[in-house]
Amino acid sequence: MKHKSNDGNDPVSLEDAILGETQTPFKISTPAEVQLAALLLARQSRRCLKIFSHDLEEMIYNNEAFVKSVVKIVKWHRSTFVQILVQDPVPALKCGHLLIEESQRLSSQIQIRRTDKDFRDKTKCYLLADDVGLLVRNHWNSYEGTVKFHAGGDAIKYHRLFSNAWETGVPEVEFRRLGL
């Protein structure tokens, strides 16, 4: 997937985008594109990763490459973290989600909460990388959306939305029990 760069010069591909630098937004519409975009953002993240998800979508987040990138983030420095908000945890619990397993091992750095009822009707799902990169899917049951590696004001907006939801979210007891 290639797009013209902001200055109109050489096209920029999603694979070549740099977190915090590439200004070009990329439209995404397939499971493979969303999975690749999430992986690229996670691989380049060095401080924090925030995921607002309907059910911790298995197709996107339950793969070894993504989980390895998440673990790398939290091992980068003791102040790094991953926060995940899930509206419906049941599918992730049923499939033995790899992120849940890692959150049990690294519970102080990978935290998962269930959204408060006031946030459960939100249809958009998103991932924030270092509060600058942003992957937004327009609806939780669709793969159509946009990824920006330098999202500017949009990243600030989604950071605020996430922070508000995080404050009222509750730790999901089932996530801590799994595998014990």
pLDDT digits (tens, 9 = 90+) for 58-110: 899 999 999 999 999 888 888 889 999 999 887 887 888 888 888 888 878 88
pTM comes to: 0.88
pLDDT for residue 156 is more than 70: yes
Using DSSP bridges, classify how beta strands 26-28 and 133-137 pair: parallel, antiparallel or unpaired. Answer: unpaired
Q: Which domains does the chain have, with CATH numbers?
A: 23-177 (3.30.870.10)
Of the candidates 143, 151, 123, the residue with the CA atom closest to the CA atom of residue 21 = 151
Residue 3 makes CB contacts below 8 A (sequence gap 6+) with: 11, 12, 13, 24, 25, 26
